[in-house]
Structure 1
Amino acid sequence: MYRVTGINLKSMPLGESDRLLTILTPERGLLRVVASGSRKANSKFGGRTGLLVLNDLMIKPGKSLDRIHHAETLASYPGLSRHFGLLTASQYLAEIALNQALEDTPQNDLFNLLTEHLERLERLPTNAPLAEVLAHLCQGIFHLLALGGIAPQVHHCCLSQQPLIANPSQLNPNIGFSIRSGGVVALAQLQQFQHQQRPSAENQSAQSNDTDYEAVANQAAFTPTPNRYLNGHQLSLLQQLSQPHLSPVRDSLDTAWDAAWIVIEQILRDYTQHHLGRAIRSATLINSYVASSQPQLM
């Protein structure tokens, strides 16, 4: 028998009355364990098998699956369930952590980072505005990506490596975000890059066989086309996500702030799904939350 601290990231029925839990632990990484009889009304586990519940566990090894012998709840983040946006954001972060976690490997940093951001979300007021919820969600996503070594480059142009200084008053898009390039690109630098990569008319006319045409097509395929275009305000918000803490969300009732954070979340969502190689199911709930909060922006 062994003892771990774990937070429930996934739960599914098993047999007639059991549950199969996927738990993130700092000591052993990702565990899949059975909570016997937990679906019965009089189960000794009660609410300890709920999602995002943090337990102190005694686990008994089994032939195929280990089983929970004893569980004591340490935290359950009740504040998240009182706000649809906060609950959805917490599930979003948990889903990313689930896809990043490793089995049979200590995951102390991932465990601490996830629980820290869940605590930050829970500390938000129950009437937290859309912009504030999305800001905390986006920083949680960014920090998880950074821990995994795949955070997008946001402070330097991916093409030139020159620093990009955000000017929040710049309302015209002058920065692109390219998933293929790994982050932000200056549009001026992108135009120069595309010009350098574009074969001249003379060279194109000289190419007469299939191999040459294939080379031109491959060259065009590597040209980083931005997935999104950002203005100075949006770039400023994106860049602050790498900091330990967010700046206060100013003018949270201003729909311009809502719109900006919606863009940032969508950028990070597309980027994360690309690197994880799968869709984030919880993101569809974010769409519903945004629609219910700011229907005019959808």
Structure 2
Amino acid sequence: MTSSEYLKGLSLKVSPLGENDRLLTFLSDSEGITRLAIPGARKPKSSLAAAAPLTFLELQVVGKRGLKRVRQMKIIKSFSNLGKQLETLAAAQVLSELCLLLIANNDPQANFLSTVLIHLERLEEISYSHQKDILILANCVQSCAHLLALGGYSLPIQVCSQTGRELVPPIGNWEWRCSFMPDEGFIIGSVPNALIQLNPSELALLQRLLHPDLPRKKNGEIMGPKEVWLKLLSVIEGWTNNHLPYRVRSLKMLKEILTSHQDVDTNK
């Protein structure tokens, strides 16, 4: 008798498998990352053809050994609107790549799926506005910080990696600097050959990203100009490049897209 189970989770990647099937890479709380066969999904009239990337699904899965198969599929939510803007699609792809790098196969991960869904929903809500680039950058940097912390690769933004002293940014002292060394972390002072140097307000902004919500002004706008958020994105890129087994290619793509935009932001 074939065993059956139900899985609820996010489709991260879909690729061809054989002549008519597809291979689904799936994130769920109970299984972590799972790879599943979707029989007949490449046929035009297949009821299982809806397994697109960035779709929240409920699956009936059958099989005991080897590659399990999807028998039934229900779409709970599609994040297809993210594809309407190249910037939000790239930011969402960053989340997908991080999931694949941070979670082992068949390794249950509490809170990971819910965190990813929250950040995808926030990205999907971003519309065209004078703050669009900043919103995308801020959401991407914060989502990376949250996922890295859940995955055991948290940014070491609380303590100087050389002295062990607490990193307390002296707001108002604009001569103060801390240096980011991707292989070590943050060091108080200006260090030669540092990848990036942060002033007090930039470090304070980075530290606030571990909170659930983005830092905002009283008028509701995101704190910090676009240039600062690009700088913090480079911190994330430097950290992941040095500590994860593979580079998160979408980080570079997102940075190139947003750097190429004309500066029309009015957040001052």
Note closer, same or farther for the CA distance 1:167–1:132 as it changes in structure 2 (3 Å cut).
farther
Deviation per residue, 1:109-161 (Å, 9 max, x gap)? 21121112112222333435211211110011011111122212213222222
Within the alignment, does 1:84 sit opposite 2:86 as a pair?
Answer: yes
- Aligned 8 A contact 2:183 2:242 in 1: no
In the alignment, the residues of structure 1 paired with residue 27 and residue 177 of structure 2 have an alpha-carbon distance, to the nearest angstrom, of 41
Note closer, same or farther for the CA distance 1:58–1:160 as it changes in structure 2 (3 Å cut).
same
| Pairs within 5 Å for 1:66-105 | 66-105=68-107
Alignment match, 1:278: 246
Alignment match, 1:174: 177
Alignment match, 2:201: 233
Task: Name which of 30, 34, 59 aligns with 1:31.
Answer: 34
| 1:116 match: secondary structure | helix
Within the alignment, does 1:17 sit opposite 2:44 as a pair?
Answer: no
Alignment match, 2:226: 258
Structure 2 alignment gaps of length 5 or more = none
Alignment match, 1:7: 10
| 1:144 match: secondary structure | helix
Structure 1 alignment gaps of length 5 or more = 191-223
Note closer, same or farther for the CA distance 1:63–1:165 as it changes in structure 2 (3 Å cut).
closer
| 1:46 match: secondary structure | coil
One-letter code aligned to 1:125: S
| 2:108 match: secondary structure | coil
- Aligned 8 A contact 2:183 2:239 in 1: no
One-letter code aligned to 2:134: A
TM-score, normalising length: structure 2: 0.87
- Aligned 8 A contact 2:214 2:222 in 1: no
Deviation per residue, 1:4-24 (Å, 9 max, x gap)? 102111121111221111101
Note closer, same or farther for the CA distance 1:150–1:82 as it changes in structure 2 (3 Å cut).
same
One-letter code aligned to 1:28: E
In the alignment, the residues of structure 1 paired with residue 247 and residue 262 of structure 2 have an alpha-carbon distance, to the nearest angstrom, of 24
Alignment match, 2:127: 125
In the alignment, the residues of structure 2 paired with residue 63 and residue 2 of structure 1 have an alpha-carbon distance, to the nearest angstrom, of 13
In the alignment, the residues of structure 2 paired with residue 287 and residue 251 of structure 1 have an alpha-carbon distance, to the nearest angstrom, of 24
In the alignment, the residues of structure 2 paired with residue 141 and residue 2 of structure 1 have an alpha-carbon distance, to the nearest angstrom, of 31
Give the Å deviation of 1:81: 2.3
Deviation per residue, 1:75-106 (Å, 9 max, x gap)? 11243223222221111011101111122232
Give the Å deviation of 1:166: 2.4
- How many equivalent residue pairs? 259
Give the Å deviation of 1:107: 1.7
Give the Å deviation of 1:54: 0.8
Give the Å deviation of 1:58: 0.1
Q: Provide the alpha-carbon RMSD of the alignment.
A: 2.6
| 2:76 match: secondary structure | strand
Structure (1 or 2) with the greater helix fraction:
1
| Pairs within 5 Å for 1:190-269 | 226-248=194-216, 257-269=225-237
Give the Å deviation of 1:170: 4.9
One-letter code aligned to 2:111: D
Percent sequence identity is: 27
- Aligned 8 A contact 1:168 1:234 in 2: no
In the alignment, the residues of structure 2 paired with residue 112 and residue 136 of structure 1 have an alpha-carbon distance, to the nearest angstrom, of 15
- Aligned 8 A contact 2:101 2:246 in 1: no
Give the Å deviation of 1:289: 2.0
TM-score, normalising length: structure 1: 0.78
Q: Which runs of 4+ in 1 moved over 6 A?
A: 249-254
In the alignment, the residues of structure 1 paired with residue 64 and residue 22 of structure 2 have an alpha-carbon distance, to the nearest angstrom, of 15
- Aligned 8 A contact 2:179 2:187 in 1: yes
